[in-house]
Chains A and B, each alone.
Chain A
């Protein structure tokens, strides 16, 4: 086969227009496949960072909209294996204009004193951290959001509440760096809680607690211990790892897994049809040539190998271009303000690249095997007589 490679390459470029059209159509499909698989991978196979593995999230068993009493924090801290438990309250609200998607970044009320302990992966200078701890209206924000909105230390940031009927007048005191989340804004829970006055059902209530645990391998045991503690309370809890918490959001949107996988298979099947069609056309044109080759002493097997090889070359070129496009698409996704933190890190991981290229090879083989087989089996006389 290697010996015949130049011949195969020459053949595959013989009908330039057809090869180009086929390559473009394979490239478009494989680009899509690569992107979807990268998204799938980022949702379901992303390894937790060491700091993420140390974090658990406790929320009301029923839903995020059902709060937990503030007092749970102190109780959770008593559970063996828990190093710290911090209030982690989704605030939501609107920043400037809610219609601009660039203004969608997470806004959480937290306990600044415990922030560094629970979230050591959010890096910011010590002086900024001190300001965050000491000043009631201080807030910190990720560098991505800061640069997107041109925020500087000392800026005033107003967030208008929706769930909470209050307006938070914040002062930017720190800009942090973090690989997995560079967008969220954090401010002091005490400021929020005091602003609420005596609003029924909101004051002294917390939607989630962020826990730092001593050893990641204890995650399940600690989760169970926390949930067991509140088993008979009016507000039962559900504790899970940060990754599982993220996935439960996704599961809530609908059967994302099924939607992604069924689109992927529809795409794969479409490429199969397209390539199969092209290869059938190519082979049909070459039947007479196959007769000539066989006259020259090419065996049936060699003829099949050459035709199949040609299809593989074409689909691999298409696949390569498609993957390049897909990695460009990933780069684009990374810059978007995202609801899912997973997108901030998205790229084409080796397993996805491997899978896409295997699909390309598979498509090359399957699409050409039948026509090639048919052509090679014709007797020389038949093949030479064949008219299209």
Chain B
């Protein structure tokens, strides 16, 4: 016969201070782990949301990022004539020559400024990013020193608001709009006119990269091979999706730190849970004896105390999840050594992450509860009854 679970729940409630303190200890451990995971998940999903599945990015051979890549107008002319490229409504091929560089934007938190990616593009380049829409103001006008900023930047940097001026190149650039790129990388970038930027930076002949849209998947593979093998280009073609996905590695140091901290904290909370459970077993010695006299088996006792420990830790896990919930959708930034600029994204606490946190808590409770439960089950009936 099984000991009803209400027995355990009532016990936990009866000893509420101890229960709560132990659960809070577990909750903090879970919270540390979850907040790091929420950060990594936010970065990952944001990078995964960037890029069109049919887009190809062409960079100089050996370049690891657009920033250290070089593409020239000749490259553009060669690529434009290739087969398998999608067309704009007006018949132009969907090939966008782009210039990516880095500018500094100061904020109250970082008076010396943070590096932000600046992308110069043509109207074709803007049109190829269908997921980016202007949420406030308007798009920049070609030929003018005007920029639009990603919504992540606008939220974090007072200097990146409509009407204010950014200083780079040969003058001041006015912020005329804020763009919403869904979850994509455009949220952490600044867009401006290619020709104006190239002339400001003396880079009319040495731009960064080419973005190309293929007509379909089959054409995309053929086009990528074609581009890689063209000796005139001496370039590497990768899919835009994979280019962004590999940047998830920027979060590796923080992820490592988080997991390391959580494991050590877990050792601490696990022993704390064990302590609490041992105390519970010692205190309820007479009760255990009584239960045995009533006919509950050793296994029943073991299961009951084990379940109580699980319940305790799950309560901790739940509290931990609640503790990190306010982080959800909070905007933050992380520096990427690929782009030498900051990538803005939002913390994301998904059900899967919370489930992971609960599982982690349950594991803590299971490890912490096993020995005390076993010691409860091993008690001799008479000794248990006599014990005070």
Contacts and interface: CB of A to CB of B under 8 A. Distances in A.
B224 interface: no
Interface stretch (A61-69, A223-231, A351-359): A61-69
B214 interface: no
Given A24-B271, A25-B267, A66-B101, A266 B31 contact: yes
A202 to B, nearest CB: 8
Interface string A272-290: 0110111011000000000
B268 A25 contact: yes
Contacts of B32: 263, 266
Interface stretch (B63-71, B79-87, B142-150): B63-71
A234 B101 CA distance: 14
A62 B168 contact: yes
A21 to B, nearest CB: 5
B299 interface: no
A86 interface: no
Nearest to B274: A21
Nearest to A274: B272
Contacts of A31: 264
A26 B268 contact: yes
A277 B110 CA distance: 41
Interface residues of A, number: 46
A201 interface: yes
Q: Which size class do B's interface residues fall under?
A: 35 or more
B253 interface: yes
Contacts of B104: 61-63
B333 interface: yes
B62 A165 contact: yes
B102 A62 contact: yes
A38 interface: no
B202 interface: yes
Tell me what chain A mostly uses at the interface: helix, strand, loop, or mixed. Answer: helix
A82 interface: no
B112 A248 contact: yes
Nearest to A281: B279
A25 B26 CA distance: 12
Contacts of A161: 62
Contact of B265 (A22, A26, A29, A65): A29
B64 A162 contact: yes
Contacts of A65: 67-68, 102, 340
B275 interface: yes
Nearest to A199: B70
A234 to B, nearest CB: 7
Nearest to B25: A273
B52 interface: no
Nearest to B264: A32
B247 interface: no
A337 to B, nearest CB: 14
B334 interface: yes
Given A21-B275, A254-B335, A277-B276, A270 B268 contact: yes
16 contacts: A21-B278, A24-B267, A25-B269, A28-B265, A62-B101, A62-B168, A64-B340, A65-B102, A162-B64, A165-B62, A200-B206, A253-B334, A253-B335, A254-B332, A263-B32, A277-B25
Given A63-B102, A266-B32, 19 more contacts: A21-B272, A21-B275, A22-B272, A24-B271, A25-B275, A26-B268, A28-B268, A31-B264, A62-B102, A62-B104, A63-B115, A65-B102, A163-B68, A200-B70, A259-B254, A263-B261, A270-B265, A274-B25, A278-B275
